[in-house]
Amino acid sequence: MVRVTNLEKSLEFYCHQLGLVEVRRVDNEKGRFTLVFLAATGDEHNAKTQRGPTVELTYNWDPEEYTGGRNFGHLAYRVDDIYAVCERIMNSGTKINRPPRDGHMAFIRSPDGISIELLQRGDALPPQEPWLSMENSGTW
């Protein structure tokens, strides 16, 4: 579970930039929160039957400040082409904190500061520019 402060901004990040798919949503008026369950592409069917892995975004309707985005570790996703995913994410306005210089691993942060590791599925891709020359930025 990841607490988010802006549900629309978070869904833009997790769904449109990372490529996750919303599989279920629960609005609880009495508790004043919304839960949104997201699955990786290919896991949608199993996630909809609650037999597959999901990430739960928890949005509390009353404003709260959350700190320490890495206090639980980080999320990690395998991707088919780490360079294409990082380019799409970067072109959408999200900073690549640890570029995939090795063709294998990159780190980014969600709008709420959650650290997310991207891992190349299978063998590392051959190193290539512009990633090879990019420096780390911020924390990851």
- Residue 27 in domain: yes
Walk along the chain (140 residues) and give the pLDDT tens digit of each residue.
888 889 999 999 999 999 999 999 999 999 999 999 999 888 877 777 777 788 889 899 998 877 765 445 688 888 999 999 999 999 999 999 999 999 999 999 999 888 899 999 999 999 999 999 999 998 87
Query: What single-letter amino acid sits at 91?
Result: N
Residues with Cβ within 8 Å of 2's Cβ and at least 6 positions away in sequence, in order, are 55, 56, 57, 58, 75, 110, 112, 114
What does the pLDDT read at residue 139? 83
- Residue 140 in domain: no
- Residue 109 in domain: yes
- Residue 80 in domain: yes
- Residue 111 in domain: yes
Within this chain, do residues 95 and 54 fall inside the same structural domain, yes or no? no
CATH code for position 127: 3.10.180.10
What does the pLDDT read at residue 49? 72
- Residue 51 in domain: yes
Domain holding 129, by residue range, is: 75-133
- Residue 68 in domain: no
| Closest to 140 measured CA to CA, from 75, 59, 57, 89 | 75
| Closest to 82 measured CA to CA, from 61, 59, 98 | 98
Within this chain, do residues 6 and 55 fall inside the same structural domain, yes or no? yes
What positions carry a catalytic annotation?
Answer: 117
pTM of the model: 0.73
